[in-house]
Structure 1
């Protein structure tokens, strides 16, 4: 396949007179000038990110959120109506959505009750003809890291691509799988600027992989998939990267505080260990009733009661110190106010 050749592919940089891309030479409507197309290959961001992550720019694909990379990986590797991917529920729902959109079958390899890969996962995947397996670590919605030796066993036995989604890795105390890229040519690592970097509104996701795979993703992506505004803000964030550890530390302290305080509430049955910026909490009362009562108080959390293995559970994002205190106070009040018939049901 020949990729689309944009004006910015055929001429890089700027010239005194730019009349090649049918842009508006008069400028932009509004206070900021975005009249020129952005760099389709995001070279400046990749250079800074490569230095920060210890990889090369050729290892990096930038997408409109990680969701674009997920969709492109499915389209790149799977023949519609013929191939399959593997997901490990409960997990991030976009993997299955991308498969459904592309007419790709979904095989399920459920996590164990403690949200780890099954002991025979590598053996089962070695026998699978699936083209991709998605491993979310730290996992969403459970918050935990998947065991490193289990992922490594899959990398050594699975014939397809192993996609480790590290959207929440900046909140974990484990090395990124990007450090193992040279060792595993079929490893793809997804990260994002939406979580620890606090740039969810920019929609900037990253896929790290072998230069050969990244070249294919660049071939099939839309030519200008990352806007000039997003690139500007991302470069500013990368320049301010020394601020990141301070934000991480504050969030981790708040996560620790919530994890200590929530089990003291009578309506809380279990707080699952978390390596992310949220906690999965199982209630010994009707979790949907708790969810509704929180909404009535202006506090929105995520209802995960319908997810496999997550019955009776809500996902609580770690907020500011004040927001966390409000959440705890609201849950205390809800526990005291729930009617007896609700408080004794699951």
Structure 2
């Protein structure tokens, strides 16, 4: 059998590993920050009706400009955003890929601040964009000085900022975003995949007058739509035109568009789950110290906790008990998604038993 090393793969891809979060079907899966709450039955019924209508026209290509969806996303975001400011793709990862295809590429650099979302550097590698890094301060906080200093040192073409940050849950002050924008002539993209779980102002409030600022979102988390694959961003219409240059024709299927439009029509009901998830997140933050662990403050739907003597060993023990969380590679730390009340109870009870508490 031929090995990967024997193929004429690009030299810059040799030795790299693909994204590989476990997908094991254990009873409690709290490892990839999904919304573990089911979609409400009445919303699901409406989505199925919308899909049925879309199937009747599936012999034709979908709306290449996904006009109805862009309008629905703009209405949902508010902040003066219109359909002309919206781009969407098959998950926010594809949105980020389009951004680097248009504004990155060979000979260009994208700046990130690890530990951060692992796909940022993977997408950079896949598009031939050089990944350069800046440093975070204590407790993974980013300050204006951190960001501006890194921009001046690395002179990137694109800056990726994650707010709240994944995997740490750290919020990002919008003054830091504004300072980053003023410090570069390049693109500044703020990844707000977990924005609905945060209490601070969104980077959307900074869009006006900043044509190089992009704010990406996803329906995978707060909307419980991870399996549908719908990510999007808001930006100046000129940026949207640039992304059209690199997208594949008809990249959003008619079924994806129909499902997302139907879900957005029930935004209030879908987002009702967010408050419950925040309750479970804060419950874990309050409970973990009594078990001997050190949770970080989180503005997302997950908690990173330290004080773990052997992360791999604890991960393995929890997995053997049917509880799957995430070893994100930060020494002494593990990350757990905030699930339902029942899932959170199982996680905490299992962790207490394994920790002898």
Question: Fold-level match, TM-score > 0.5?
Answer: yes
- Measured in 2, the distance between the counterparts of 1:42 and 1:179 equals 24
Aligned residue number for residue 332 of structure 2? 312
- Measured in 1, the distance between the counterparts of 2:266 and 2:260 equals 10
The answer to whether residue 277 in structure 2 is matched with residue 277 in structure 1 is no
The answer to whether residue 214 in structure 2 is matched with residue 188 in structure 1 is yes
Whether the 8 Å CA contact 1:126–1:159 is kept in 2: the answer is no
Aligned residue number for residue 314 of structure 2? 290
- Measured in 1, the distance between the counterparts of 2:243 and 2:198 equals 28
**What are the residue-to-residue correspondences of 1:116-127 with 2, within 5 Å?**
116-118=141-143, 119-126=145-152
The answer to whether residue 241 in structure 2 is matched with residue 221 in structure 1 is no
Q: Deviations over 1:65-98 (max 9, x none)?
A: 1111111111111241x11111100001111111
- Measured in 2, the distance between the counterparts of 1:124 and 1:271 equals 28
Aligned residue number for residue 344 of structure 2? 324
Kindly state the Cα deviation for residue 246 of structure 1 after the two structures are TM-superposed.
Answer: 1.8
Structure 1 residue runs without a partner (length 5+): 1-30, 338-346
Whether the 8 Å CA contact 2:148–2:180 is kept in 1: the answer is yes
- Measured in 2, the distance between the counterparts of 1:234 and 1:86 equals 31
- Measured in 1, the distance between the counterparts of 2:279 and 2:308 equals 26
Structure 2 residue runs without a partner (length 5+): 1-53
Match of 2:171 among 140, 145, 150: 145
Aligned residue number for residue 12 of structure 2? none
**What are the residue-to-residue correspondences of 1:140-289 with 2, within 5 Å?**
140-266=166-292, 268=293, 270-289=294-313
Helix, strand or coil at the partner of 2:116: coil
* Ranges of 4+ aligned residues in structure 1 off by more than 4 Å: none
Helix, strand or coil at the partner of 1:207: strand
- Measured in 2, the distance between the counterparts of 1:112 and 1:123 equals 12
Kindly state the Cα deviation for residue 290 of structure 1 after the two structures are TM-superposed.
Answer: 0.8
Kindly state the Cα deviation for residue 170 of structure 1 after the two structures are TM-superposed.
Answer: 0.4
Please, what is the CA RMSD of the aligned residues? 1.7
Match of 2:68 among 20, 23, 44: 44
| 1:102–1:281 CA distance, 2 compared to 1 (3 A) | same
Helix, strand or coil at the partner of 2:249: coil
TM-score by length of 1: 0.83
Helix, strand or coil at the partner of 2:324: coil
- Measured in 1, the distance between the counterparts of 2:133 and 2:287 equals 35
Aligned residue number for residue 88 of structure 1? 113
**What are the residue-to-residue correspondences of 1:5-154 with 2, within 5 Å?**
33=56, 34-54=58-78, 55-80=81-106, 82-118=107-143, 119-126=145-152, 128-154=154-180
Kindly state the Cα deviation for residue 202 of structure 1 after the two structures are TM-superposed.
Answer: 0.7
Whether the 8 Å CA contact 1:283–1:313 is kept in 2: the answer is yes
Helix, strand or coil at the partner of 2:356: helix
Kindly state the Cα deviation for residue 120 of structure 1 after the two structures are TM-superposed.
Answer: 4.0
Q: How many residues matched?
A: 300
Instruction: Tell me whether 67-76 or 271-280 shows the greater mean CA deviation.
Output: 67-76
Instruction: Tell me whether 45-54 or 293-302 shows the greater mean CA deviation.
Output: 45-54
TM-score by length of 2: 0.80
